[in-house]
C-alpha cells in the first residue's frame, strides 16, 4: 500500500480521513480504493437508515447477553451479525459496547454487557471474533470513560489512574487479550480534561503500545472537536461526513506545517488497508432486508432464554404446567407489544416479533387466558398499531407516506413509501433527492376497536396539521431545538387532543408536516434534522380500573408485564429514576393483592426499584430480549427451558445505595467524578445489602459444588493455574449452572456447564496473571504481590460456596496484555 500512498495527492489523502456521507467513507476508484459502509449496531445490523430501516435479526440487548455468561452464544451472535452485515453490504459493524454499568441510571446501560470488566471483556472478545470470522470488521466502543449519556459531548470523566486501569480500561484490555478487532471507536467525552479523540497518551500509548492494538481508530459520530490534536492522537477517521474539522482545514494545517504530511500518510495508509480488507467481502450495491426465513430463530430464542433472569420464585410458583387448564390473567401492553430493544443506535426493524401473549396462548393451549392492557407505559402517545391502520394505496396494513420538495402537496413528489408507524425521521440521506425545504403527508384509514374518547398526540420539529375526515383536529407549530439528541427522541413537546370515535368505523386520517426552517446544526447535515411522531390511543386512562381487580381475583395465576420503552432508556440521555412509572407500580400492587398467585415479567435494560417485592410471588428480569422474546418466555414459564441467567449488574434497593450516587450524571461544571473509585457495583462491600447481588439468578433445579482445587499449568509460573471443581445437579430437571470464580472478592473467571438430573461434571477455569494483579500507579505497571490470595467459587457476588487460599511466593510486575 506504500506505492498507493505515493500516487495520491495531498487532497486525496486528506479526503480519506473523513466520511463522505453519514454511513460511508470516501472512495477513490481511480486508485482502486473502495468506500467503507458502516452500520449500527449492538443487537442487529440496522443498515444505512436510522428510521424505517431494512429488516434484520434483532438479538437480545447486551444486558441480556451479559446475563448468559456464555461466550459460545456470543460468538454465534457475532457470526450471525457478520453474515447479515454482508447481506447489507456493510464492512464495518459499530459494536460491541464494552463500557461498564457504573450507575443503574445509565441511559445506555442496555447496550453494554455488565458492571464487571472481566465479564464485559470476555463477551466483547467473543462478539468480535464472531463478526470478524466472516471478513466483517467489528468496532468495540467507546474508548474510554463513556458511562454517562448526559452532556456526553461536553462532559469530563474524572477518573484516577488506578480506577481507570483496573475497571474502565480493563474491559478493553481483556477484550484485546482474547481478540484482535480491526477497529475501535473513541468516546465523545473528555477523560481528565482532554477529549478522548485527542488523547495521545491513551490512544497511542495505552491502546496501541501497551495493549498492542493494530487496527484503525475512528471517532464517534461528531466526536471530533478540532483539526490537529486527533491527527496527533492517531484517530484515522472522522465520522460522519462531510468533514467538520478535516478536509480543507487539515490541508491548511499541513501547508502551514502544524501537521506533517508523514502523519497524513500514516493515517491514510491505515484507511486504505482497512478498506481493502473489508471492501473485498462486501458489494457496492443497495442493501436488502433480511428475511424471516434467514433469521436464526433458534439462536435468538436460546440467547433470550439463557439471558432472562429468574430473580424470585416464592413457593416454586414457577414453572406452570402447560397441560393444565388454569385460568391465566395477562396484564400489561408489553405482553402484546413487547419492548425488544432500547433507543438510539440499538433501534432497528426486526424481521418479525413474537409477542409473549401469542406465545403463551400457543404454549398453554388448554388454559383459559384473559388479557388486559393494564396501564400506559409511555410518555408520548405511541403510534397506532397495524391492526387498526390501512394504507389507502394498497388496502393493506400500513401508512402511505409521501415526500415532496417545496411546501405544496401537488408539487414535486420525491418519494412514496409504506410505513408501519406514524413516525418519520430525516437525519441521514435515506431519501436522496429531498431538499431542505420539503413537506410530508402521511395518510391512513383508522378503524378503532372500541367506542369512546380516543387520544391523538403529536410532536414535530416543524409545523404539523392533523385532519380526521377533513376536519382539522391538531395544528402543531413544532419545536425549535433541532439537535440530533432531541430529534432522535424529542422530549416534552407533545400536544394532545381527544375526540370521540366509534368502534369499527373507518376514519380518514391525513397528517401534513412541513420542514423546519432552522439551519443545519453542523456541516455533516445538508438540512436541519426533521422528526414527526403522531400517536393514537383508545380510551387513554391513567388509573387502575375495576376490570383489573376483577380479572386478577378470578384467575388462578396472574402474569404482569412491565417495561421501560425508549423514552426512558436510550442513547443521548440518562434515566431520572430507578422507578417504573407510578401507574405500572400501581398495576403490580393491585394484581398481586388480588390474585392467588402473581408473576412479574419486567422488560428493562437496567435495574428497577421494587417497592412491591414482598407481594409478588415470582419475578423474571426479561431485559430487552429481542424478537423471539415471546417464545423464550413461554419456554421458561412452562419449564420447557430452565432459567440459567445470572445478573451482570447489582440491583440496589434504592438509587441512594449505588456507589456512584451523588456523582452521576454530570455536575454543574459538566464533570463526572468517579469518586467511588474501585468500589463500583458489587465491589462496594461497605454499601447496603442489595436487593439482588451481582451474579444472582435462580433455577428450577439445584446444584452442588465440591472439591475445589488449584493445579499449576506450568512449573515455570506460579501465576498460571487451573481451578478445578466438581458440579453436580442434585435437583429434578436438567439445567445450566454458572460457576463464578472470585479472587479476593473480584470476578476473575467463570464456566457454564449443562448437567442432566443427577449428573456430575468437572469444570475448569484458568487463572493467569490477570487474576492476581493490581495496578501500581508509582511503578506504572501491573504488580503481583507475594502474599496469600482468597480464591472462591460463589453462587453470586455475596454467597461463597467453596473457598481456598493460594499463596504466591515471589512478587513480579508486568505490562501489556
Q: Which residues contact 322 (CB under 8 A, 6 or more apart)?
A: 363, 364, 365, 366, 367, 638, 639, 640
Residue-wise pLDDT for 779-795, tens only, equals 999 999 999 999 999 99
DSSP letter (8 states) at residue 319:
S
CA distance linking residue 543 with residue 526, whole number of Å? 45
76 pLDDT more than 60? yes
State mean pLDDT over 295-322: 98
74, HSE (Cβ side, Cα atoms, 13 Å): 27
CB-CB contact of 270 with 231 (8 Å): no
CB-CB contact of 196 with 152 (8 Å): no
Residue-wise pLDDT for 603-616, tens only, equals 999 999 999 999 99
State mean pLDDT over 142-158: 98
- 3 state SS of 656: helix
Residue-wise pLDDT for 796-807, tens only, equals 999 999 999 999
CA distance linking residue 34 with residue 47, whole number of Å? 18
pTM: 0.94
Residue 2's pLDDT is 58
521 pLDDT more than 80? no
Residue 603's pLDDT is 99
Q: Is 4 exposed, middle or buried (0-12, 13-18, 19+ CB in 10 A)?
A: middle
State mean pLDDT over 337-365: 96
Q: Pick 415 or 425 by higher pLDDT.
A: 415
Q: Which residues contact 349 (CB under 8 A, 6 or more apart)?
A: 46, 52, 53, 54, 55, 56, 420
CB-CB contact of 44 with 56 (8 Å): yes
CA distance linking residue 205 with residue 217, whole number of Å? 13
Residue 302's pLDDT is 99
220, 617, 635, 657: the catalytic one is: 220
Kindly report which listed range (49-63, 265-279, 520-534, 757-771) carries the lowest average pLDDT score. Answer: 520-534
State mean pLDDT over 564-568: 94
Q: Which residues contact 476 (CB under 8 A, 6 or more apart)?
A: 458, 459, 460, 463, 464, 465, 466, 495
State mean pLDDT over 413-440: 88
167 pLDDT more than 80? yes
Share of the chain above pLDDT 90, in %: 87
Q: Categorize the per-residue pLDDT at 369 as very low, low, confident or very high, splitting at 50, 70 and 90.
A: very high
CA distances from 262 to 162, 358, 478, 743 (A): 35, 61, 49, 47
State mean pLDDT over 388-397: 97
524 pLDDT more than 90? no
Characterize the bridge pairing of strands 92-93 and 137-138.
parallel
593, HSE (Cβ side, Cα atoms, 13 Å): 9
Q: Is 361 exposed, middle or buried (0-12, 13-18, 19+ CB in 10 A)?
A: middle
State mean pLDDT over 644-671: 98
Query: Grid coordinates representing 135?
Result: 471478513
Q: Categorize the per-residue pLDDT at 267 as very low, low, confident or very high, splitting at 50, 70 and 90.
A: very high
Residue 452's pLDDT is 92
State mean pLDDT over 258-262: 97
Residue 97's pLDDT is 99
Share of the chain above pLDDT 70, in %: 97
Residue 483's pLDDT is 55
Q: What is the mean pLDDT of the chain?
A: 95
Q: Pick 71 or 477 by higher pLDDT.
A: 71
State mean pLDDT over 429-440: 86
CB-CB contact of 295 with 351 (8 Å): yes
Kindly report which listed range (166-180, 223-237, 569-583) carries the lowest average pLDDT score. Answer: 569-583
CA distance linking residue 654 with residue 311, whole number of Å? 17
Residue 812: strand pairing partners = 784
Residue-wise pLDDT for 460-500, tens only, equals 888 999 999 999 999 988 875 555 555 555 455 789 999 99
Residue 744's pLDDT is 98
Domains and CATH numbers, the chain: 297-379+543-666 (3.40.50.1700), 389-537 (2.60.120.260), 703-814 (2.60.40.10)
Q: Categorize the per-residue pLDDT at 1 as very low, low, confident or very high, splitting at 50, 70 and 90.
A: low
Residue 520's pLDDT is 78
Residue 789's pLDDT is 98
- 3 state SS of 168: helix
- Give the residue carrying C-alpha cell 417545496: 406
- Active-site residue flag, 547: no
Q: Is 257 exposed, middle or buried (0-12, 13-18, 19+ CB in 10 A)?
A: exposed
State mean pLDDT over 179-198: 99
Residue-wise pLDDT for 692-717, tens only, equals 999 999 999 999 999 999 999 987 88
Amino acid at each position: 500500500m506504500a506505492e498507493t500512498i505515493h500516487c495520491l495527492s495531498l487532497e486525496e489523502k486528506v479526503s480519506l480521513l473523513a466520511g463522505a456521507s453519514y454511513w460511508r467513507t470516501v472512495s477513490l476508484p481511480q486508485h482502486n480504493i473502495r468506500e467503507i459502509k458502516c452500520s449500527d449496531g449492538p443487537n442487529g445490523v440496522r443498515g444505512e437508515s436510522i428510521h424505517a430501516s431494512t429488516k434484520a435479526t434483532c438479538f437480545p440487548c447486551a444486558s441480556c447477553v451479559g446475563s448468559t455468561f456464555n461466550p459460545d452464544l456470543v460468538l454465534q451472535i457475532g457470526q450471525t451479525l457478520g453474515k447479515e452485515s454482508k447481506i447489507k453490504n456493510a464492512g464495518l459493524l459499530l459494536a460491541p459496547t464494552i463500557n461498564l454499568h457504573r450507575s443503574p441510571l445509565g441511559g445506555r446501560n442496555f447496550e453494554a454487557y455488565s458492571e464487571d470488566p472481566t465479564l464485559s471483556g470476555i463477551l466483547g472478545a467473543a462478539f468480535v471474533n464472531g463478526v470478524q470470522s466472516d471478513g466483517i470488521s467489528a468496532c468495540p466502543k467507546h474508548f474510554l470513560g463513556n458511562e454517562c449519556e448526559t452532556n456526553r459531548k461536553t462532559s469530563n470523566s474524572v477518573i484516577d489512574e488506578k480506577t481507570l486501569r483496573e475497571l474502565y480500561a480493563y474491559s478493553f484490555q481483556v477484550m484485546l487479550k482474547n481478540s484482535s478487532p480491526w477497529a475501535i471507536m473513541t468516546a465523545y467525552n473528555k477523560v481528565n480534561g482532554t477529549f478522548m479523540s485527542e488523547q495521545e497518551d491513551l490512544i497511542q500509548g495505552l491502546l496501541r503500545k501497551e495493549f498492542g492494538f493494530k487496527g484503525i481508530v475512528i471517532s464517534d459520530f461528531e466526536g471530533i472537536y478540532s483539526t490537529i490534536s486527533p491527527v496527533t492522537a492517531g484517530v484515522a477517521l472522522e465520522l460522519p461526513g462531510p468533514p467538520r474539522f478535516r478536509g480543507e482545514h487539515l490541508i491548511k494545517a499541513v501547508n502551514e506545517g502544524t501537521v506533517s504530511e508523514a502523519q497524513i500518510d500514516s493515517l491514510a495508509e491505515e484507511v486504505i488497508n482497512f478498506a481493502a480488507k473489508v471492501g473485498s467481502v462486501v458489494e457496492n450495491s443497495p442493501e436488502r432486508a433480511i428475511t424471516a426465513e434467514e433469521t436464526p430463530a433458534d439462536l435468538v430464542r436460546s440467547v433470550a432464554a439463557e439471558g432472562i433472569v429468574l430473580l424470585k420464585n416464592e413457593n416454586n410458583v414457577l414453572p406452570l404446567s402447560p397441560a393444565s387448564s388454569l385460568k391465566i390473567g395477562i396484564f400489561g401492553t408489553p405482553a402484546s407489544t413487547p419492548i425488544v430493544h432500547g433507543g438510539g443506535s440499538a433501534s432497528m426493524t426486526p424481521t418479525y416479533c413474537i409477542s409473549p401473549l401469542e406465545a403463551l396462548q400457543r404454549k398453554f393451549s388448554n388454559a383459559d387466558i384473559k388479557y388486559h392492557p393494564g396501564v400506559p407505559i409511555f410518555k408520548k402517545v405511541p403510534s397506532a398499531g397495524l391492526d387498526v391502520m390501512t394504507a389507502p394505496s394498497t388496502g393493506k396494513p400500513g401508512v402511505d407516506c409521501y415526500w415532496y420538495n417545496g411546501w405544496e402537496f401537488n408539487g414535486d413528489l420525491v418519494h412514496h413509501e409504506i410505513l408501519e408507524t406514524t413516525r418519520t425521521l430525516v437525519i441521514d440521506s435515506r431519501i436522496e433527492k429531498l431538499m431542505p425545504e420539503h413537506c410530508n403527508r402521511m395518510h391512513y384509514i383508522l378503524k378503532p376497536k372500541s367506542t369512546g374518547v380516543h387520544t391523538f398526540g403529536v410532536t414535530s420539529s416543524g409545523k404539523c396539521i392533523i385532519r380526521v375526515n377533513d376536519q382539522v383536529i391538531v395544528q402543531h407549530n413544532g419545536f425549535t431545538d433541532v439537535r440530533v439528541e432531541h430529534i432522535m427522541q424529542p422530549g416534552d413537546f407533545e400536544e394532545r387532543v381527544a375526540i370521540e370515535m366509534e368502534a369499527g368505523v373507518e376514519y380518514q386520517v391525513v397528517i401534513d408536516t412541513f420542514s423546519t426552517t432552522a439551519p443545519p446544526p453542523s456541516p455533516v447535515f445538508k438540512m436541519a434534522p426533521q422528526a414527526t411522531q403522531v400517536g393514537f390511543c383508545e380510551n387513554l386512562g391513567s388509573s387502575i380500573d375495576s376490570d383489573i381487580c376483577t380479572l386478577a381475583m378470578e384467575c388462578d395465576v396472574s402474569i404482569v408485564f412491565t417495561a421501560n420503552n425508549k423514552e426512558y432508556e436510550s442513547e443521548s440521555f440518562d434515566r431520572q429514576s430507578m422507578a417504573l412509572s407510578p401507574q405500572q407500580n400501581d398495576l403490580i400492587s393491585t394484581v398481586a393483592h388480588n390474585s392467588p398467585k402473581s408473576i412479574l415479567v419486567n422488560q428493562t435494560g437496567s435495574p428497577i426499584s421494587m417497592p412491591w417485592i414482598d407481594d409478588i410471588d415470582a419475578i423474571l428480569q426479561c431485559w430487552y430480549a429481542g424478537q423471539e422474546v415471546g417464545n423464550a418466555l413461554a419456554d421458561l414459564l412452562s419449564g420447557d427451558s430452565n432459567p440459567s441467567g445470572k445478573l451482570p449488574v447489582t440491583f440496589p434497593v434504592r438509587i441512594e445505595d449505588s456507589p456512584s450516587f451523588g456523582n452521576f450524571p454530570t455536575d454543574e461544571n459538566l464533570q463526572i467524578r468517579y469518586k467511588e473509585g474501585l468500589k463500583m457495583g458489587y465491589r462496594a462491600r461497605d454499601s447496603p445489602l442489595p436487593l439482588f447481588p451481582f451474579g444472582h439468578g435462580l433455577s428450577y433445579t439445584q446444584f452442588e459444588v465440591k472439591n475445589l482445587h488449584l493445579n499449576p499449568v506450568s512449573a515455570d509460573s506460579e501465576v498460571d493455574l487451573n481451578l478445578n471443581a466438581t458440579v453436580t445437579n442434585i435437583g429434578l430437571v436438567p439445567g445450566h449452572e454458572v460457576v463464578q470464580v472470585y479472587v479476593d472478592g473480584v470476578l476473575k473467571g467463570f464456566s457454564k456447564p449443562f448437567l442432566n438430573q443427577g449428573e456430575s461434571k468437572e469444570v475448569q477455569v484458568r487463572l493467569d496473571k490477570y487474576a492476581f494483579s493490581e495496578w501500581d500507579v508509582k511503578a506504572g505497571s501491573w504488580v503481583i504481590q507475594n502474599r496469600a490470595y482468597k480464591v472462591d467459587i460463589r453462587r453470586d457476588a455475596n454467597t461463597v460456596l467453596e473457598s481456598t487460599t493460594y499463596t504466591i511466593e515471589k512478587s513480579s510486575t508486568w505490562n501489556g496484555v
